[in-house]
Amino acid sequence: MQDALAAAGYPERILVACSGGPDSLALASVVSYFARRGHVHGHPVSAAAVVVDHQLQEGSGEVAAHTAAILEELGLSPVQVRTVEVASTGFGPEAAARDARHAALDAAAEDLGCQFILLGHTLDDQAEQVLLGLARGSGTRSLAGMRAARGKLLRPFLGLRRTETLEICGVEELEAWHDPSNADPAFARSRTRVEVMPVLEDKLGPGVAESLARTAAILQQDADFLEELASASYDGLVNRTDDGVWLPEGALRELAPALRFRVIAKAAADVGGQQPGYGRLQAAEALLRRQGSAGPVQLPGNVSVYRLSLSELERDAAAGPREGGGCGKLVFRHHTSPQH
C-alpha cells in the first residue's frame, strides 16, 4: 500500500471501492490503518469508501448496507452506498456491470474530492484475466492484463494472492461476503476460477498463477512500446476532413503489421468507433492489398472504412483541389445508423 501511494505521488485523499468480498475488505482494512495514522511516510492521507450496489442479486441492498457499516467501523469516512442500474450494452452482463460500477466510482471520487480510487484486484484476478484473454485469442493489450495504476485507478494488491487477503480478513476479524456469482458456471471468469485454474495448478504444478501474472507484466511493457510507436505513426499519417479521417494507403502499407493494425484501430477510434476485433481489423487491412472489394468494411461503433483509389482521386481532382497527392487512401467515417 505504501508503495502504491508513493508511486501515485502521495495523494491526500483516496477512495476505497469495496464490495464486501475478502479482497476489497482486506484492502479497506489496510487503507484504514494509514487513514487512522493520518499519513504515509509523513505525507497526509485520508480515505473515504464507496459500496456499489448493482441490484443484480436478491438482497444486494442488505449486503451493501452491511458492508458500509463495517467500513464505518474501520474508520473510513464518509462511506457511501451507490445504487446503479446495469443496462444491457451488447458486450455481456459482466462488462455492463463493470461500466456501471466504474461510472459510479468516478462520480463518487469527484463528489468526495478523491484523487485516486483503490481497487482490490489480486494476482489471482490477473492470472484469470490473462488466461481468459488467451482463450479468446486476444491481442497484446488484452493479455497485458490489469495495471497496478491506470488513470485514477490504483490496484495495490495486484501482487498478492487471494489466500493472503483471506488471511488479512481473518487476522482483522472481518466477516467478508462471498459473492455467489464467483462460483456461478454461467460466467466464464467463474469457470476459470473454480474449474480451470485448479486443474492447471494440479497438472502443471504450483506457480501457474504467478507465471501468468508475470506474462502480463512483460506484455505490458511490449504493449506500451508498440502503443507509443503506433501513436507517432498515426499522428504522422492522419488527415482529417469534415466527415472523417483518411490515411495514405502507400505509407500505411509500408508499416510493420503490428503497427499497421494499431494505426487502423486508432483511425476507427478517432472518428468515434469502438475497439475492433482482430477479424474486423483484418478485413479493413485487406483493403490495402487491392484485391477484391474496395469496401466499405463495417467496424464496431458505426464506422465504415473504404479504399479510394488513385483513379478515383484523379477523377475527383477534376472537380476541385486534390487531397494528399498521388496515392490512394483509406477513408474512415462514422455514421449514425447502419442505413446511412
**Alpha carbon 48 to chain centroid distance?**
24
pLDDT digit string, tens, across residues 192-250: 998 999 999 999 988 999 999 999 999 999 999 999 999 999 999 999 998 899 999 99
Share of the chain above pLDDT 70, in %: 91
- Answer with the residue of higher pLDDT: 315 or 54: 54
3-state secondary structure of 15: strand
What are the grid coordinates assigned to 86, written together? 446495469
**In contact, 79 and 68? CB cutoff 8 Å:** yes
Kindly provide the residue ranges of all beta strands, DSSP E only, lying in the chain, ordered along the sequence. Answer: 13-17, 39-40, 43-44, 46-53, 79-83, 116-118, 149-150, 153-154, 239-241, 244-248, 297-299, 303-308, 329-334
Q: Which pLDDT score, from 0 to 100, does residue 278 have?
A: 86
- pLDDT-derived band at 94 (thresholds 50, 70, 90) equals confident
Q: Who contacts 124 (Cβ-Cβ below 8 Å, separation ≥6)?
A: 161, 162, 193, 197, 209
Kindly tell me if the per-residue pLDDT of 41 is higher than 60.
yes
Residue closest to 18 by CA, chosen among 201, 189, 177, 126: 177
Kindly tell me if the per-residue pLDDT of 304 is higher than 60.
yes
Kindly tell me if the per-residue pLDDT of 29 is higher than 80.
yes
CA 72/CA 78 separation, integer angstroms: 8
Q: Which pLDDT score, from 0 to 100, does residue 89 have?
A: 61
Q: Who contacts 56 (Cβ-Cβ below 8 Å, separation ≥6)?
A: 86, 93, 97, 181
From residue 36, alpha-carbon distances to 46, 110, 115, 141, 171 in Å are 8, 23, 19, 38, 18
Q: Which pLDDT score, from 0 to 100, does residue 326 have?
A: 47
Q: Helices then strands (H, E): number in the chain?
A: 14, 13
Looking at residue 46, what DSSP letter applies?
E
